[in-house]
């Protein structure tokens, strides 16, 4: 069966529309706050930070904050003080996400991100490191302004997990024998934790009881894991014009992902590969073709779909449950 990646921007736009008019209004305020935060300390760091923010992305994590908070469709549900705190929380999650991408590009020496030149490519390693640090700092400045110590705890735990996941990925680089359990643990740290935190922050700001907060956090974690699995599938088979990066980027970085883990069990020649010898896009593309030939992409996608189904099954009965289910479906549809 031929599988084609869908347009993620169009996906998220449809989700925002489904949430009712207040969600896009608040997301618009998040965008304003992100732009303001990027330039607060002047042009030296502000210009590359602004370019990172302007490069966009789906803003899926800020959307999860608003949906988990139960933002309703009607204006009479609005509370100016709560809305401001929600905007700050949503922006803080996106700022952390942007910071990690800038730092990842430094570590991976990546020339492109979302089809645009990276800060590392245009300004060098030192500036890119500083920009990532700056975005992290701005994230916690915005979140502190909500006055919620628990919110700061949630995001600080996620940030620590992100760093731990990056260190784990670095220690596993070029190791073809990485077990699937370790891979999933790494994905949980590097990707799922921030999805989980987005939902937990929204539930906290929305005044949800502890059990609902935990349920929404578990929902976010599961769809975050599925998101990463499908991202790894796209690295093997996604068209560069859609993904914004060449096929096989993970292989060139020495990163072993689920499709390769599955494929090596089906093709002994892949298990014997020395990833350090994969040094060109052509070599990476050739191995990606061999991975796809084993059927590993279908198996990886099936595992992601199972995670999405589990996320929907465990979703608490909250105000925007229908749209949260659509978010889960959109994650599954990234490669369908």
Q: Using one digit for the tens of pLDDT, what is the confidence trace for 75-113?
A: 666 788 889 999 999 999 999 999 999 998 888 888 878
Whole-model pTM: value is 0.92
- Does residue 3 lie within any of the structural domains? no
The CA-atom distances, in angstroms, between 320 and each of 102, 234, 315, 325 are 32, 29, 11, 9
pLDDT digits (tens, 9 = 90+) for 106-145: 888 888 787 788 899 999 999 999 999 999 999 999 999 9
Both structure tokens of 121: 């490519």
pLDDT at 92: 97
Maximal C-alpha separation, the chain: 63
Whose tokens are 């089809």? That residue is 115
Q: What share of the chain is helix, strand, coil (3-state, %, to 5)?
A: 75, 0, 25
Q: CA 65 to CA 73: how far, in whole Å?
A: 15
Q: Which domain CATH number covers 158?
A: 1.10.600.10
**Domain range holding 124?**
8-332
pLDDT at 2: 44
Residue 40 three-state SS? coil
CB atoms within 10 A of CB 218: 18
Both structure tokens of 24: 């896009």
pLDDT at 1: 40
The CA-atom distances, in angstroms, between 139 and each of 59, 88, 89, 200 are 15, 9, 8, 16
- Does residue 204 lie within any of the structural domains? yes
- Does residue 25 lie within any of the structural domains? yes
Both structure tokens of 256: 């072993």
- Does residue 322 lie within any of the structural domains? yes
- Does residue 234 lie within any of the structural domains? yes
CB within 8 Å of 24: residues ≥ 6 apart: 16, 17
- Does residue 122 lie within any of the structural domains? yes
Whose tokens are 């890119």? That residue is 128
- Does residue 2 lie within any of the structural domains? no
CB within 8 Å of 250: residues ≥ 6 apart: 232, 235, 256, 257
pLDDT at 182: 97
- Does residue 86 lie within any of the structural domains? yes
Tens of each residue's pLDDT in the chain, 336 residues = 445 555 666 777 788 888 788 999 999 999 999 999 988 878 888 899 988 888 877 899 999 999 999 997 766 667 888 899 999 999 999 999 999 999 988 888 888 787 788 899 999 999 999 999 999 999 999 999 999 999 999 999 999 999 999 999 999 999 999 999 999 999 999 999 999 999 999 999 999 999 999 999 999 999 999 999 999 999 999 877 777 678 999 999 999 999 999 999 999 999 999 999 999 999 999 999 999 999 999 999 999 999 999 999 999 988 899 999 999 999 988 755
Structurally, the chain folds into a number of domains equal to 1
């Amino acid at each position: 069966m031929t599988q084609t990646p869908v347009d993620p921007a169009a996906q998220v736009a449809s989700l925002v529309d489904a949430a009712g008019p207040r969600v896009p209004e608040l997301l618009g305020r998040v965008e304003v706050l992100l732009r303001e935060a990027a330039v607060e300390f002047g042009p030296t760091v502000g210009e590359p930070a602004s370019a990172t923010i302007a490069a966009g992305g789906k803003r899926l994590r800020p959307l999860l904050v608003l949906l988990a908070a139960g933002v309703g469709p009607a204006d009479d549900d609005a509370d100016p003080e709560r809305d401001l705190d929600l905007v700050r929380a949503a922006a803080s999650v996106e700022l952390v996400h942007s910071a990690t991408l800038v730092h990842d590009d430094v570590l991976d020496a990546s020339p492109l991100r979302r089809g645009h030149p990276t800060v590392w490519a245009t300004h060098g390693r030192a500036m890119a490191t500083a920009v990532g640090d700056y975005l992290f700092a701005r994230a916690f400045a915005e979140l502190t302004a909500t006055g919620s110590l628990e919110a700061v705890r949630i995001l600080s735990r996620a940030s620590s997990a992100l760093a731990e996941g990056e260190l784990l990925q670095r220690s596993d680089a070029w190791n073809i024998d990485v077990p699937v359990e370790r891979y999933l643990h790494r994905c949980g740290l590097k990707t799922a934790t921030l999805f989980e935190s987005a939902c937990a922050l929204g539930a906290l700001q929305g005044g949800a009881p502890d059990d609902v907060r935990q349920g929404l956090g578990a929902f976010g974690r599961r769809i975050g894991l599925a998101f990463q699995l499908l991202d790894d599938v796209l690295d093997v088979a996604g068209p560069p014009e859609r993904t914004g990066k060449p096929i096989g980027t993970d292989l060139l970085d020495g990163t072993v992902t689920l499709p390769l883990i599955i494929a090596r069990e089906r093709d002994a020649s892949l298990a014997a590969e020395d990833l350090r010898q994969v040094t060109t896009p052509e070599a990476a593309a050739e191995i990606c073709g061999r991975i796809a030939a084993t059927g590993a992409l279908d198996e990886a996608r099936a595992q992601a779909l199972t995670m999405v189904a589990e996320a929907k099954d465990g979703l608490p009965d909250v105000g925007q449950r229908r749209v949260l289910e659509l978010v889960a479906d959109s994650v599954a549809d990234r490669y369908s």
